[in-house]
Structure 1
């Protein structure tokens, strides 16, 4: 019964993500290594589920290990330069053969409809074609790359028509030129350009690793692009994970809202990343014009300007400049082009393992773009770092917003004793809490 209740609870909490993702376009890179994973059938089932939930999917296939095997069988050596496989004329047909075999395997797996399996009743239409227009890399620093190429453009109009007709689109790592030539491309490059040119909502890359880890071995659930740059410059990642992170950063900087790195060895990792708050991999966000960060003393003026209108309306308790300066280490802010456009604070009550969420405010000019959710997530992460198990808040006007994000109404008696003593009965605030 406990497992059933856990499932029901998970399913209920996934509904906001289901609604948010419906109708969105995701580009997903499936490397050749994923097809050899014991969890590959699970990935296929999860893709089928995403399709049934109304998510438009563009799959990009890789075939690195399959190409290596066929070239080895033919006793061909394969050379790489700057991450690109050099493709001589006499190896091109072998590479095409390996790519075709991967494509057929993917199409076959996506066509299953056996009863008593997660694919039962599925009716997927998978389309593939010459939608990637390529050009040769040519000779770079004296090295002739042969039939290795780069993406010239993606036939986005044709792909959009397929997606609108409820098709799943499969793009190979091969590109075609207007002169009828075939070029071997990096799967990451195809995925980047597909995500950019289709204006996709997400780029998702499967790798062997769960995501990106810090120096202590802890998984980053979220990385800003400037932090990702630091990691890439250290050059400590394996080549495949390094390429995946580079691709994610490149896509996000070209206005793809989110990019994710997920392990193909994690059963259900894709669903966990997309439909749970904690996720299962690493999400990469843009930060060039807007960033979520801890507040510092120079932010106080901007915070006061942000909070003042809400204090005048009685939505927030009034705070003086001196109080904000003394409590600045409790705040996080969202800064955009040097201006503070949102802020929030966490006040810990360590004895009760609880923290108070306070002063959550977003400038009226910047509402409606998930900044409130970003602040809330930032506060929850800060609370976890403080080893707090509960976040609570007092509100007079925004109860429904917090209820929609997992908070439940509770009583004054549930608050820490010090907070109970400070409760303002004249404001008559409602109290909500959330378990982390």
Structure 2
């Protein structure tokens, strides 16, 4: 295969996602550390590309390190309590100045259109304003937080109107009150409330960490809020992990379909997460991105595509579309983002109290993740509910996998009579049986 242009294959494979994301609303948080460490230019190019592809963008930007630097230069040390600093008049002056400078810098970079630059020819209008209403944190545990505040509401109709006109909306970590005051807000809270108010399709949080990892260091690609909340309980107050997990879990519970935790250190993170099937970070969602479920007639095309390579290699007996349609109620599938990546079937032989475990298949790109064992466990549960006492399988290539999961060799005579009569002696499949009592 000609691999001179690997980008071309990637581009072809990304086309379903380009179509899926067009017209969708994404709220993207870029923490201030990304800008402070020189990642702003690359991220702005990626944002411009998303805008060009028809994504409706709301961009929230953090300013914590920039404000800290300004305070250090002035010799000011803010008091901190419960992960937030106490914003008195002097500190709030720094916050307002830095927020304005950062917004102007972003607007300038989003306007860049010189020849030989990535944004050449892109007409991108960036708009900001008094779009987030806030209220003071007030006095908590005896501490007066001054101008530190929390989000009261996001003016969703105003933001939607700007998005409808093709604008990219910029939201600084500032909020305004009906009394004309300005409050310092946490950027992740602004992003969370914006996503919830807009009913965003995605909330994307770009921070230091490349998603969440388990105790062995493996990336956890998908979690529900219930899965993530124990991690939140152990996170340090005010830390990035605490702030991002709070935003992600709340957004998921209030209708935001998917929240993605990504690292701005990874130059490919944003596009890699959005335009590849497996992504690069952790996704928090109420709805399972990968789910095991009963097969439906709409899965026939995916099943045929999954099984054909294995049938061609002689590992599975060929199954026609008509046969799959007739037996569809016997099948379980594992679906990942709309693609059937694994399947198994249970064919019942009630007179013998036995069931055939058939057509166990996992897509070559998703092996090694215990999906076969997951299917087997669900087949066994289904068989027990039907009153069966044993499973059998016929295999030519994968007997060791069955041995590892409790099956033993048996003779053809151990098969139910109906299955014994249809046994293909030319294939010489091994007969394996497992008791499930």
The two structures have a TM-score, normalised by structure 2, of 0.70
Q: Give the superposition deviation at 1:280.
A: 1.5
Question: Residues 356-414 of structure 1: CA distance to partner in whole angstroms, max 9, x if unpaired?
Answer: x3359xxxxxxxxxxxxxxxxx97886332599xxxxxxxxxxxxxxxxxxxxxxxxxx
Q: Is the 8 A contact 1:42 1:268 kept in 2?
A: no
Could you tell me which residue of structure 2 aligns to residue 317 of structure 1? 327
Q: Is the 8 A contact 1:133 1:155 kept in 2?
A: yes
Question: Residues 111-169 of structure 1: CA distance to partner in whole angstroms, max 9, x if unpaired?
Answer: 11122221111111000101111111111121111001111111111111111110000
Larger Rg: 2
CA distance in 2: counterparts of 1:33 and 1:59, whole angstroms: 15
2:212 partner SS: coil
Q: Give the superposition deviation at 1:345.
A: 8.9
CA distance in 1: counterparts of 2:2 and 2:323, whole angstroms: 45
Could you tell me which residue of structure 2 aligns to residue 410 of structure 1? none
Question: Residues 269 and 86 from structure 1, CA distance in 2 versus in 1: closer, same or farther, beyond 3 angstroms?
Answer: same
Matches within 5 A, 1:9-408: 9-235=9-235, 239-286=239-286, 315=325, 317=327, 346=342, 357-359=343-345, 383-386=367-370
Question: Residues 318 and 157 from structure 1, CA distance in 2 versus in 1: closer, same or farther, beyond 3 angstroms?
Answer: closer
CA distance in 2: counterparts of 1:16 and 1:333, whole angstroms: 16
Question: Residues 281-323 of structure 1: CA distance to partner in whole angstroms, max 9, x if unpaired?
Answer: 1111115xx796679xxxxxxx69x89xx99985153788xxx
CA distance in 1: counterparts of 2:151 and 2:196, whole angstroms: 12
Q: Give the superposition deviation at 1:171.
A: 0.7
Q: Is the 8 A contact 1:134 1:175 kept in 2?
A: yes
Question: Residues 342-364 of structure 1: CA distance to partner in whole angstroms, max 9, x if unpaired?
Answer: 9x894xxxxxxxxxx3359xxxx
1:77 partner SS: coil
CA distance in 2: counterparts of 1:267 and 1:333, whole angstroms: 29
1:134 partner SS: strand
CA distance in 2: counterparts of 1:146 and 1:4, whole angstroms: 60
Q: Is the 8 A contact 1:223 1:282 kept in 2?
A: yes
Could you tell me which residue of structure 2 aligns to residue 395 of structure 1? none
Aligned Cα root-mean-square deviation (Å): 3.6
Q: Is the 8 A contact 1:132 1:153 kept in 2?
A: yes
Q: Is the 8 A contact 1:345 1:358 kept in 2?
A: no
CA distance in 1: counterparts of 2:56 and 2:329, whole angstroms: 47
CA distance in 2: counterparts of 1:144 and 1:238, whole angstroms: 17
Q: Is the 8 A contact 1:87 1:145 kept in 2?
A: yes
Q: Give the superposition deviation at 1:36.
A: 2.0
Structure 1, unaligned runs of 5 or more: 296-302, 325-329, 335-341, 347-356, 361-377, 389-415, 426-436
CA distance in 2: counterparts of 1:5 and 1:154, whole angstroms: 45
Structure 2, unaligned runs of 5 or more: 301-320, 347-361, 373-394, 399-418, 424-437
Q: Give the superposition deviation at 1:236.
A: 7.4
Q: Give the superposition deviation at 1:87.
A: 0.5
CA distance in 2: counterparts of 1:23 and 1:53, whole angstroms: 9
Q: Give the superposition deviation at 1:30.
A: 1.1
Q: Give the superposition deviation at 1:417.
A: 4.7
Q: Is the 8 A contact 1:345 1:359 kept in 2?
A: no
Question: Residues 313 and 45 from structure 1, CA distance in 2 versus in 1: closer, same or farther, beyond 3 angstroms?
Answer: same
CA distance in 2: counterparts of 1:238 and 1:150, whole angstroms: 14
Q: Is the 8 A contact 1:32 1:102 kept in 2?
A: no
